Amino acid sequence: MTPTDAPAIGDPAPPTDAGVVAKLSTLDRFLAVWILVAMAGGLGLGRAIPGLDNALATMEIGGISLPIALGLLIMMYPVLAKVRYDKLDAVTGDRRLMASSLAINWIFGPAVMFALAWIFLPDLPEYRTGLIIVGLARCIAMVIIWNDLACGDREAAAVLVALNSVFQVVMFGVLGWFYLDLLPGWLGLGDGEHLDISIGKIALNVGIFLGLPLIAGFLTRHLGERRLGRARYETSFLPRIGPWALYGLLFTIVLLFALQGDTITNEPLDVARIALPLLIYFATMWFGTFALGKAIGLPYDRTATLAFTAAGNNFELAIAVAIGTFGVTSGQALSGVVGPLIEVPVLVALVYVSLAWRKRFAADALTTTASPRAGGG
C-alpha cells in the first residue's frame, strides 16, 4: 500500500493486499526498484560530471542546501495535506505512544549510536564523531513518507515529528556536549570533541524541513475541505497530488548521492566500516521499537509510526552540522553522508517487513475479538 491509498483514522477497513496491489501504479509497484535506480543514478552523476557536487554545494543558504530542501518539501507536502488535523487530539491523548517516543528518540537512540560508534570505530575518531552526530539528529522529514508507505498513523506521525522538532531545537546541542565532550572523559575514552552548533541554526533547519510543509499541508486541508468537502477532497484532490511525494523522494535521493558520489566511490572501505554500525543501529531501533509497540498494546498503525520515527534520522541536519563544524572534506561529514546511503534502502526494506507484520496484527485482533474474554464472558 502506498501514500495514495493508505487509510487515515476513521477510514473503513483497508482492502485486501491483492486488491491493493492490483490498483497500484507502475511507480508505486516498483518503488524499491526506482529508489535503487535513483541511488545509482546519483552516484553516477556525481562521478560522471566534474564539479557537480561543488555546484550543488554552493546552492545553499545558512548551511541549508536549496536543491535538497526543494526535494524534501515536494516529498512531505502531499503527505501532510492528507493528515486529518481535527484528529490530532486522539494522538496527544495516547500517553503510551508519546512517552515511548520521547524515551526512544532522546534517551535510547543517541545512547545506542554512541555505543556502536565506539565499538566499531575506536581507531577512527572522525568517523565515530560523525556517527554520533547522526544519532543525535532525530528524524523530522523523510520518516513521514516511510510511515505513509507502511500504512502507519498519519496523525500520529505528524504529532511525533513535531515533538521531535521541539526537542531537537532544545536538546541537540546539550546532547552533543554530553556524548561528544563530557561522556568520553567520564568513561576514560580520551579527549572529547566540541560541537559548535547554534540553537538558531537548528531552529532554521526545523522550520524549513518541517514548518513550511506542515503549514502548507494544514492550509491545503483546511481550505480544500471548506471548498470541496471532506469526501471530495480525499477522493478527488489527494490522489492528484499523492504521486508527488514519491517524485520528491526520488529527486532528493538523486541529489544526495550526486553530492557525495565521488567521495563514496573513492573510499569504499571507509564507507563499509561506517555502514556496519549504521546497519546494526537501524535494525536495533526499528525491530526493538516495533516489539515495544506490540508489547504495550499499540495498534499496528501506531506501532509502525513509533518504529519508523525511532529508526529514521535527520540526515540533512547531521550533514550540515558536520560540515559546518569540521569541514566539507572531514571524516565527520563523510559519516553524515553515508547515513542516508544506508538508511534509504534499509528503511525501504523495513516498509515491506512492516506491511508483512500488519497481517499478523490483523490476525491477533481477530483472535482477541473471538475470545470469550473479549466479550466480557
Q: How far is 341 from 207, CA to CA, in rounded Å?
A: 24
**Domain-located, residue 77:** yes
Query: Which structural domain range is residue 93 located in?
Result: 31-360
**Total structural domains in the chain?**
1
Q: How far is 71 from 66, CA to CA, in rounded Å?
A: 9
CATH at residue 87: 1.20.1530.20
pLDDT at 238: 86
Q: Lowest mean pLDDT of 10-14, 27-31, 78-82, 281-285, name the range.
A: 10-14
> Which pTM value belongs to this model?
0.76
pLDDT at 17: 46
Closest CA to 151 of 332, 311, 361: 361
User: Computed from CA positions of residues 132, 135, 138, 143, in that sequence, does the dihedral angle turn out positive or negative?
Assistant: positive
- Please name the residue that has the C-alpha cell 560523525: 130
**Residue 56 clears pLDDT 50, i.e. is over it:** yes
Q: Which three cell numbers stand for residue 317?
A: 541536519
**Domain-located, residue 340:** yes
Mean pLDDT across the stretch 10-21? 42
Q: Which three cell numbers stand for residue 7?
A: 487509510
Quickly list H helices, 49-124.
Answer: 52-58, 66-82, 88-92, 95-103, 109-120
Mean pLDDT across the stretch 135-145? 83
pLDDT at 153: 92
Does residue 64 sit in helix, strand or coil? strand
Residue 122 CA, chain-centre distance (Å), reads 27
- Please name the residue that has the C-alpha cell 515511548: 100
> pLDDT tens across 167-207, in order?
888 888 888 888 988 888 888 887 666 666 666 767 777 77
Q: Residues 341-369, buried b or exposed e (16+ Cβ, 10 A)? A: bbbbbbbbebbeebbebbeebeeeeeeee
Q: Lowest mean pLDDT of 50-59, 151-160, 213-222, name the range.
A: 50-59
Mean pLDDT across the stretch 220-245? 89
Rg (CA), the chain: 21
**Domain-located, residue 294:** yes
**Domain-located, residue 368:** no
**Domain-located, residue 45:** yes
Q: Which three cell numbers stand for residue 175?
A: 546532547
pLDDT at 193: 66
